[in-house]
Amino acid sequence: MTTIEWTDHTLNPLVGCTKTRAKGAKQSGCEHCYAARASKSGRLQQFPQYHGVVDREGNWTGQVNFVPEQLEKLFRFRKPTRVFMPSMSDPFHPAVKDEWLDQIFAAIALNPKAIVQMLTKRPARMRDYFRTAKNRIRIAAVDMGRSTSNTDQGVLAEIESCQWDWPLPNLWLGVSVENQQAADERIPLLLQTPAAVRFLSCEPLLEAVDISGFLNSRNRSKSIVKSTFWTIIGGESGPGARPFYLEWARSLIQQCRDAEVPVFLKQIGSNPMHYQNSLVDKPGTPPWMLVEYLGYQGRGMRDRKGGDIQEWPEDMRVREFPDFSCEVISIERSEK
C-alpha cells in the first residue's frame, strides 16, 4: 500500500540510486531524496535489499540491488491496479543491468491488470533501452510465464505467438521535471520513447516551468499523436523543504488545460508560498505564507505535506487521471 495519491501500490524490484541534476540547473530535484533517507532507517534496514545502498550518513553509495521476488507480487492483482515501480530507485540508473530491466518488463507484460507507472530522471537510457528491448522482453516473458504457477495462460499464449501489444498497454513512462532545464532535457527524450501513457512528474517543482511547447508538439507529431499524456504537480515536503509558489502550479495547470492534458496536483508541499502580486512571477518577489493566505493561525497546515485538498485554494483542487483503461479512471474534485 502507499500514501502517494496518484497510485494504488508501490513495488520495489530495484533499490538504490545516486543523485543527478539536469545540465545547467542550479538545483536538483534529488537534493532531499526521500528514498535515500528512508533506506537508511531501521525500518527498512531489516530487509537485505537495503544493505549497501546507503552509507551511515544516508547518502546513496551507487549500489543498486535487484529484488526479483518483488515481481511475483504483480501476479496477484485480479483487478486493474496502479503500481508505482520502483519508488526507491531510478529504473534507468547506470547500475541497473539490462537483464534486470528485461525481467521487470517481462513481468509487466504478463500482468496486464497491473497498470505500472515508472518514473526516471535518466530518460536517455530509457529511450535507448526500448529501441532494442522488445524481443529480449518477449523471451524473458515466455521463460517467466512458463515457470510461474499463476501465469494467465491466455496472456502467455499471446506473447509466445507474438500477438502482444507493443508498446505495453499497461506501462506508463514518465520523467521528473523540477525546473526548466529538466523539462528541456528530459521531455524530448520521453517523447522519443514509445509508451501507452507518457507523464511528467513536476515534483518537487522548484521554479516556474513552461512546458506548453512540448504539450503542443505532442498534438502535432504524427508518430506520437495517439499517445496519452498526464502531468503530476507537487511541492517538496519533509525536512528543509524548498518553497513552492502556488503561481507555478497555477501556470502548469493552465498549460495542461490549454493542451487538454489531464493534470493532478498531488500536494502543495511543506513550504507553500504565493507572490504578493500574482501578476509578478519572478524570484525575489516578497512571498506571503500560504497559511496566512488561507486564514489559518500559526505556521502549519493540518497536513504537513500540503496534501489535503481542502487546504488549497479552490481553483487548484484538481486531481485527474489519463483517459486510459476505463476501470482505473477517476477524477477527484473538492467537496466544499
Burial of 131 (0-12, 13-18, 19+ CB in 10 A): exposed
Q: Is the dihedral of CA 56, 58, 27, 305 positive or negative?
A: negative
Burial of residue 192, with CB atoms counted within 10 A of its CB: 0-12 exposed, 13-18 middle, 19 or more buried? middle
| Shortest Å distance, C-beta 20 to ligand SF4 | 6
CB of 167 to ligand SF4, least distance (A): 23
For position 121 contacting ligand SF4 by CB under 6 A, the verdict is yes
The residue (of 21 and 218) whose beta carbon lies closer to ligand SF4 is 21
Q: Is 197 in the site for ligand SF4 (CB under 6 A)?
A: no
Q: How far apart are CA 288 and CA 295, in angstroms?
A: 12
User: Which residue, 61 or 217, has its beta carbon nearer to ligand SF4?
Assistant: 61
Contact between 134 and ligand SF4 by CB under 6 A: the answer reads no
Q: Is 30 in the site for ligand SF4 (CB under 6 A)?
A: yes
Q: Binding mask 93-112 vs ligand SF4 (x if CB under 6 A, - otherwise)?
A: --------------------
61 vs 212, which CB is nearer to ligand SF4?
A: 61
Q: Give the number of other Cβ atoms within 10 Å of residue 210's Cβ.
A: 13
Please, what sign has the CA dihedral across residues 299, 300, 305, 308?
A: negative
DSSP state of 174: E
Q: For ligand SF4, which residue of 4, 11, 14, 17 counts as binding (CB under 6 A)?
A: 17
Give the whole-angstrom CA distance, residue 266 versus residue 5: 6
CB 303 within 8 A of CB 319: no
Asked if residue 86 lies in contact with residue 17, where contact means CB atoms within 8 angstroms, the answer is: no
Out of 11, 14, 35, 171, point to the residue binding ligand SF4 (CB under 6 A): 35
Find the shortest distance in angstroms from Cβ 36 to ligand SF4: 6
Residues 158-187 that bind ligand SF4 (CB under 6 A): none
Q: Residue 36 or residue 253: which is nearer to ligand SF4 going by CB?
A: 36
Question: Binding residues for ligand SF4, per CB under 6 A?
Answer: 17, 19-20, 30, 33, 35-36, 89-90, 121
